[in-house]
Structure 1
Amino acid sequence: MITDLLLEAANLMLIGMATVFIFLLLLVLLMTLMSKVLRRFTPVKLADKVIKSDVNNTGVSPAIVAAISAAVHQYRQQHK
């Protein structure tokens, strides 16, 4: 009786683990395929322009960056 229950439990465990493994394998394969398709049909130069424009249009002036850097440096010096 106990042996039958243990065999049934092992069988259910293997079926469950196989199902999860197959699902994750399909997920990885579909994500890889989608990545390849998007890379093929999406122009790279457009993505580079978007990234460069985001970096250049932050709106923070160099004076503000210098003031923040000086304040952080002063705080670190006082709180060693």
Structure 2
Amino acid sequence: MVTELLIESANLMLIGMVSVFCFLWLLVLAVGLLSKVMQRYFPTPAKEKYIDNIPAASTAVSPAIVAAITAAIHQHRQQH
């Protein structure tokens, strides 16, 4: 009786795993086919290259911000 249940559960597991594998394989094929169709009939337009004339922002941190962060860290460490 136990062996029959084990054989039945192994068969059920095998059928489940094969069906999931087949579904995922078909899904990969469908996505690949859809990707090729979309690229062929609806190609993505090339992005226009442009030069940014806005000067880069300064990366220096304000001393007031550094002082505030330092004070916050010091206060946090004092509480623990």
Quickly name the TM-score band, shorter chain normalised.
0.5 to 0.7
1:37 and 2:41 are equivalent in the alignment: no
Runs of 4+ residues deviating >2 angstroms: 59-63
Distance 2:53 2:20 in 1: 48
Identity across matched positions, percent: 51
User: Larger radius of gyration, structure 1 or 2?
Assistant: 2
Flag the 1:60–1:11 CA change in 2: closer, same or farther, 3 A. farther
- Structure 1 alignment gaps of length 5 or more: 76-80
The normalised TM-score by structure 1 is: 0.63
Aligned length: 61
Tell me the alpha carbon deviations over residues 1-26 of structure 1, each in whole angstroms, 9 at most, x when there is no partner: 11001000100100100110011001
1:5 and 2:12 are equivalent in the alignment: no
Distance 2:4 2:29 in 1: 37
RMSD across aligned C-alpha pairs, in angstroms?
2.5
- Structure 2 alignment gaps of length 5 or more: 67-80
Paired AA for residue 10 in structure 1: A
Q: 2:78 is matched with which residue?
A: none
Distance 1:34 1:23 in 2: 16
User: Could you say which structure has the higher helix fraction?
Assistant: 1
Distance 1:14 1:60 in 2: 63
